[in-house]
Amino acid sequence: MARKISNRHKTVATIAAWLVAFLIFFPILYTIITSFKSETEAIAGFNLIPSWTLESYSEVQSQYNYFKPFMNSVIISIGSTILALIVAVPAAWAMAFTPTKRTKDVLMWMLSTKMMPAVAVLFPIYLIFRDLGLLDSRVGITVMLMLINLPIVIWMLYTYFREIPVEILEAARMDGAGLWQEIWHVLTPMAVPGIASTMLLNIILAWNEAFWTIRLTTTNAAPLTAFISAFSSPQGLFWAKLSAASTLAIAPILIMGWFSQRQLVRGLTFGAVK
Amino acid sequence: MATKHSSSLARFMIAPAVLLLLVWMIVPLSMTLWFSFQQYNPLNPIRDGFIGFSNYLLFFNNPAFIASIINTLAIVVSVLLITVIGGIFLALLLDQPMWGQGIVRILVISPFFVMPPVAALVWKNMIMHPGYGVFADIARFFGFQPIDWFAQYPLFSIILIVAWQWLPFATLILLTSLQSLDSEQREAAEMDGAGFVNRFIYLTLPHLARAITVVVLIQTIFLLAVYAEILVTTNGGPGYASTNLPFLVYQKALLEYKIGQASAGGIIAVILANIVAFFVMRAVGKNLDR
């Protein structure tokens, strides 16, 4: 079984891979570095060693009240994920454990709703939100993100639940377990990892959603996506401040993303690649 | 095992999800369809009502429309080519034994987690800015005149940013698929004297075919809808040089208040997406049967 791998092969692969990885990661790295520079340093030409000042971070907070959009992002992404799970867990559960001949069609139809281009319904949604007073409200954008991610959440949960062996239920029943005992002691512990992974991926997707969040919020409910987009009209020097705002906006999700690589593959391919 | 009782319970458990998605799909989409046949300007209270296919004709006769369709396709096709070919190479590279594989993997997939406005602004200002960007620094170092990327090559610049965002996705999926390749099969091929190129063409590539299909289809859905990257960098310009279909529809609807035309454009976007969706559903549906 053991393929003989020469040390030379391994060294060459290591150098090549690290080089490519560095190039791909470079824009992120350079942003993080620049966030610790002063504004004059930031435009003084290429330099990988900052003076480690935190002034951009404090200015982003004092000038732009950064904490507010950050908290909006937290509330909206977690809120929409919880809402989606409340609707999706029972649905995925039922389809996985009591499938009928229509289950497949229902799943496919749900997937098809994900493919509707957002821009096609931009104006109707805008009108509906305006008439219901939901424009620039956290409730409105949370519900919106819940709806657009619901198909992915149901699909992911379904692929996880389907892997729970039904025989284990029969065994529990033989031992005299009732329905609630079955659900609580047997199925729930087996379903929790799948639900947790789904939750993680959905928070990432909601955090980074950049169409509805930009168009349906302005100031009050604006999450980081909308806030950062407004940074595009520079007034004076803003390179270091932009970097600080960007670093804070991507750091939490970058770390979550690193922990959810596998689930990402599964969730975004609707179980087609595992 | 499914008794009458449990199947009615199941229906009850599925109902909220189905209802929500049904409303979400039907209500706004039928409104768009209706608006696409209307003369309607929210700033102008006089409505002319039903005007047949005039909005579609107006939209088609707008020079921006042809430009936007060409740009949309250019973005989709170029990014797909870059990410699939680049992704295959990267996946093959990352599949090799090496030191620090875990860290390399993390570095490579990171761009995927960067929100689109940040990705676009970082590239625009830190990397490609004609005065202060890294590209300009490099150009000056070698004695060249820095290029104003977003003014001179707006579409290329956007393609570059979007490709950077999606290359990690393609790499990750192809790598996952590559790692499920039977190592015994690979060894057998090696023992039979198949070289790297032959193994790649006759063993690896056929094995990756399914993952490549999935990458192409899923990316296409997202690439047809590129929006924030354009909004924060070129704003569709100069002229219509980097306006894609979603961006044109947004401009018509929320900037020019030409709701009828915007809706007609939206319906065209739906038709485009449906063509792709048809193939996605077939690919995913096949997997469901297994």
Please check whether residue B230 is in contact with residue B242, taking contact to mean a CB–CB distance below 8 angstroms: yes
Position of tokens 């290591």?
A14
Alpha helices in chain A (DSSP H): 7-35, 39-42, 55-64, 67-97, 103-113, 122-131, 138-161, 167-174, 179-181, 188-208, 212-216, 224-229, 239-259, 261-268
Residue B243 — φ and ψ, nearest 5°? Answer: -90, 120
Q: Which pLDDT belongs to residue A1?
A: 41
Q: Which tens digit of pLDDT belongs to each residue from B123-134?
A: 998 899 888 888
CA distance B46 to chain A (A): 18
Q: Determine whether the interchain pair A104/B285 forms a contact, defined as Cβ–Cβ distance below 8 Å.
A: yes
Q: Which pLDDT belongs to residue A207?
A: 93
Q: Are strands B44-50 and B38-41 parallel, antiparallel or unpaired?
A: antiparallel
CB-nearest to A21 from B108, B112, B126 is: B108
| Distance between CA atoms of residues B3 and B18, nearest Å | 22
Please check whether residue B281 is in contact with residue B225, taking contact to mean a CB–CB distance below 8 angstroms: no
Q: Determine whether the interchain pair A272/B125 forms a contact, defined as Cβ–Cβ distance below 8 Å.
A: no
**pLDDT of B41 higher than 50:** yes
| Distance between CA atoms of residues A26 and B96, nearest Å | 22
Alpha helices in chain B (DSSP H): 4-35, 54-61, 63-94, 101-109, 116-121, 134-141, 149-152, 154-179, 183-191, 196-199, 205-223, 228-233, 245-250, 259-289
| Distance between CA atoms of residues A102 and A108, nearest Å | 10
Q: Which tens digit of pLDDT belongs to each residue from A227-262?
A: 988 875 556 668 888 899 999 999 999 988 888 877
**Is the entire prediction scored with pTM above 0.90?**
no
Least confident of A185-189, B174-178, B208-212, B286-290: B286-290
B interface mutation test: which of A47, A101, A123, A158 has the most B CBs within 10 A? A123
A interface mutation test: which of B59, B75, B104 has the most A CBs within 10 A? B104
Residues in chain B closer than 8 A to A21 (CB atoms): 103-104, 107-108
Please check whether residue B76 is in contact with residue B276, taking contact to mean a CB–CB distance below 8 angstroms: no
Q: Which tens digit of pLDDT belongs to each residue from B68-103?
A: 999 999 999 999 999 999 999 999 999 888 888 889
**pLDDT of B5 higher than 70:** no
Whole-angstrom Cα Rg for chain B: 24
Domain boundaries, chain B: 1-30, 36-289
Please, which contacts does A78-82 make with residues 24 or more away whose CB atoms are closer than 8 Å? A78/A203, A79/A138, A79/A142, A80/A142, A80/A143, A80/A144, A80/A145, A80/A146, A80/A149, A80/A202, A80/A206, A81/A146, A81/A149, A81/A153, A81/A199, A81/A202, A81/A203, A81/A206
Q: B90: Cβ–Cβ under 8 A, 6 or more apart, which residues?
A: A20, B108, B167, B171, B174, B175
CB of A85 within 8 Å of any CB in chain B?
Answer: no
**pLDDT of B160 higher than 90:** yes
Position of tokens 């600080």?
A244
Measured on CA atoms in the order B168, B174, B180, B183, is the torsion positive or negative? Answer: negative
Domains and CATH numbers, chain A: 7-58 (no CATH), 66-232 (1.10.3720.10)
pLDDT, mean over chain B: 86
Q: Which pLDDT band, with edges at 50, 70 and 90, does B288 fall under? A: low
Q: Determine whether the interchain pair B273/A17 forms a contact, defined as Cβ–Cβ distance below 8 Å.
A: no
Interface of A with B in 230-269 (CB under 8 A): 231-232, 234, 239, 242-243, 246, 249-250, 253-254, 256-258, 261-262, 264-265, 268-269
Q: Which pLDDT band, with edges at 50, 70 and 90, does B2 fall under? A: very low
Cα–chain center distance at A5: 38
Q: Determine whether the interchain pair A120/B104 forms a contact, defined as Cβ–Cβ distance below 8 Å.
A: no
Q: Spell out the CATH class of B36-289.
A: mainly alpha
CB of A210 within 8 Å of any CB in chain B?
Answer: yes
**pLDDT of B280 higher than 50:** yes
Task: Give B45 or B202, the one with higher predicted confidence.
Answer: B202
3-state SS class at B287: helix
Task: Give B254 or A3, the one with higher predicted confidence.
Answer: B254
| C-alpha distances in Å from residue B271, one per residue of B23, B33, B37, B70 | 20, 12, 16, 16
| Distance between CA atoms of residues A140 and A72, nearest Å | 12
Q: What is the percentage of chain B residues whose pLDDT exceeds 70?
A: 93
Q: Determine whether the interchain pair A27/B123 forms a contact, defined as Cβ–Cβ distance below 8 Å.
A: yes
Neighbours of B63 (CB within 10 A): 9
Tokens representing A188 are: 């729930």
CA distance B171 to chain A (A): 10
Residues in chain B closer than 8 A to A228 (CB atoms): 115, 117-118, 121, 232
| Distance between CA atoms of residues B194 and B109, nearest Å | 31
Instruction: Please give the ipTM for the structure prediction.
Output: 0.87
Q: Which tens digit of pLDDT belongs to each residue from A149-207?
A: 999 899 889 988 888 887 777 777 777 777 777 777 777 788 888 888 889 889 998 99
| Distance between CA atoms of residues B48 and B38, nearest Å | 7
Measured on CA atoms in the order B123, B115, A70, A124, is the torsion positive or negative? Answer: positive
Residues in chain B closer than 8 A to A109 (CB atoms): 21
Please check whether residue B67 is in contact with residue B151, taking contact to mean a CB–CB distance below 8 angstroms: no
The length of chain B in residues reads 290
Q: Which tens digit of pLDDT belongs to each residue from B166-202?
A: 999 999 999 988 888 777 777 777 777 777 788 888 8
